[in-house]
Amino acid sequence: MSNYILKYSRDERVKYISHLDFVRLFHRTVRRTSLQFMFSQGFNPHPIMTVAQPLSVGVTADGEYMKVGFDGEYTENEIMSTLNENLPLGYKIIAVKQIFAKEIDLTKIDRAVYTVEAETNDSPDIDAFMANKELIVPKKTKSGVKDSDIRPHIFGLSQLDKNSESMVLKMTVSAGNDYNLKPETVIDAIKKYECADIGFIKIHRNALLEGDKDFL
């Protein structure tokens, strides 16, 4: 068995595909190629594949990660071109790296960068918002909705664009298993602390990082 880290993007055309549907789609894609998946042992063998941070429905992305086990040795280029020829339009593999141990450990992902476009006629003051010592908003956790201080989990927030109907924000926030901050929750906090009326939001994930460094 050989393990590979795959970095991929998804655009507007396929952004409504759920995580589970993507996993199935990827299984089918591999079946259409000459690549052989490594299968798990047990009663119901399934292909060995782990998606690092499942994307929410409706979110596009530039640099997502997954780890895949193939039965056989393939070159990184071979994997990239084979998959790209067979993936539905809208998904694209942008980098492949074979790993031999844990030199790339996707469980270490702890930050994500998002670009969020939000409909609003208001002009929330982002610098004032970031100057808050704490930002307490209801946040979904495993045990239900609880108030949480999200300020320590926002590493950067800036306004890229603003017009009378909308604004575009870029944010770097906590991601991963320890504390995952969704951009929606940041928007909730802006609504609350800046008394902003914000309507529809559209989310794009630019990167998944460990600290400030990318994996591939």
Partner 1 sequence: MITQRDKILSAVEKPTRYTGGELNSVIKDPSKVDVRFGFCFPDTYEIAMSHLGLKILYHVLNKREDTFCERVFAPWTDMQQQLKIHGMKLFALETGDEITHFDMLGFTLQYELSYSNIVRMLKDADIPVRAADRDETYPVICGGGPCAYNAEPVAEIFDFFQLGEGEDMMNEAVDEYVKWKKSGKKNKRDYLEAIAKYDGIYVPSFYDVTYNADGTVNEIKPNNENAKPKIIKRIMADFDSAYTPNSIVVPFGDVVHDRVMLEIMRGCMRGCRFCQAGYIYRPLRERKSETLLGLADDLLSCSGYDEISLSSLSSSDYSELAPLTGGLLDMTEKKKIGLSLPSLRIDNFSIELMNRVQAVRKSGITFAPEAGTQRLRDVINKNITEENVLKSTSMLFKGGWTNVKLYFMIGLPTETDDDIRGIAGLSQKVLDEYFKIPKEERAKNINVTVSTSSFVPKPFTAFQWEKQDSRDMIIKKQDFLKSEIKSRRIKYNWHDNRTSYLEGVFARGDRRLCEVIIKAVEKGCQFDSWADHFKFDTWLEAFSECGIDPDFYNMRVRAYDEVLPWDHIDIGVTKEFLMRENEKAKAAKTTPHCREKCSGCGVAAFKAGVCCE
Please report how close the Cβ of residue 179 comes to partner 1 at its closest, in angstroms. Answer: 26
Pick from 1, 19, 21, 123: which binds partner 1 (CB under 8 A)? 21
- Is 16 an interacting residue with respect to partner 1 (CB under 8 A)? yes
Q: Which range binds partner 1 by CB under 8 A, 67-75, 82-90, 135-143, 189-197?
A: 82-90
Distance CA 68, CA 58 (A): 24
Distance CA 78, CA 59 (A): 28
- Is 90 an interacting residue with respect to partner 1 (CB under 8 A)? yes
CB 166 within 8 A of CB 118: yes
SS3 for 112?
Answer: strand
Largest alpha-carbon pair distance within the chain?
58
* H or E element at residue 9: strand 2-10
* H or E element at residue 114: strand 111-120
Pick from 58, 72, 138, 156: which binds partner 1 (CB under 8 A)? 58
Please report how close the Cβ of residue 85 comes to partner 1 at its closest, in angstroms. Answer: 12
**Binding region for partner 1 (CB under 8 A):** 13-14, 16-18, 21, 25, 27-32, 39, 43-45, 57-58, 86, 88-90, 117, 119, 166, 200, 202
